[in-house]
Amino acid sequence: EVQLVESGGGLVQPGGSLRLSCAASGFIFSSYWMSWVRQAPGKGPEWVANIKSDESEKYYVDSVKGRFTISRDNAKNSLYLQMNSLRAEDTAVYYCARTTYYYDRSDSYGYGMDVWGQGTTVTVSS
C-alpha cells in the first residue's frame, strides 16, 4: 500500500523551531519529487515547498524562504521540513505529498500531488 505518514508536529512558541518528518512506503521514494503543503484552520491549502528526487532542486513559497528547509533521505524513504523562526501565521496542518510528473511519449502534463499523508498539526503560540 502506498502510504505517507507525517510526524513531528506540536505546540511551539513564536521564534522556536520544529522538524517535521514524513515516512514513505509502498513506492520507490527515490524516484519522486515530494512536496509539503499546509492548511491553516478554516483556510485552503497552501503549497510550502518541494524537492526533486535527487535533492538537486528545491523551491519554496516566499513566506518561508530563509526560515524553512526541505530535505530528504532516500536511503530512509523519508522527507523532512526544518522550520525555524516560527510565527503565529505558520500555525497549520502540514501535509507531505508525493508529487508525480505526468507525461507520455507525445506530451508532458505537469505535476500533481497524488498521494498525501494524514497531516501533522503545528501550533505556534505563546
Partner 1 sequence: DIQMTQSPSSLSASVGDRVTITCRASQSISSYLNWYQQKPGKAPKLLIYAASRLERGVPSRFTGSRSGTDFTLTISSLQPEDFATFYCQQSFTTPWTFGQGTKVGIK
Q: Which three cell numbers stand for residue 77?
A: 524513504
* Contact string 16-55 vs partner 1 (x = CB under 8 A): -------------------x-x------xxxx--x-----
Nearest to 2 by CA among 23, 33, 17, 19: 23
Contact flags string 52-91 toward partner 1, x per CB under 8 A: -------xxxx-----------------------------
Phi and psi at 88, nearest 5°, equal -55, -35
Which range touches partner 1 (CB under 8 A), out of 22-30, 67-75, 79-87, 109-117?
109-117
Neighbours of 37 (CB within 10 A): 22
Shortest distance, position 2 Cβ to partner 1, whole Å? 11
Query: For residue 70, which amino acid is it?
Result: I
CA geometry: angle 37, 64, 54, nearest 5 deg: 65
> Which residues of the chain form contacts with partner 1 (CB under 8 A)?
35, 37, 44-47, 50, 59-62, 95, 97, 102, 109-114, 116-119
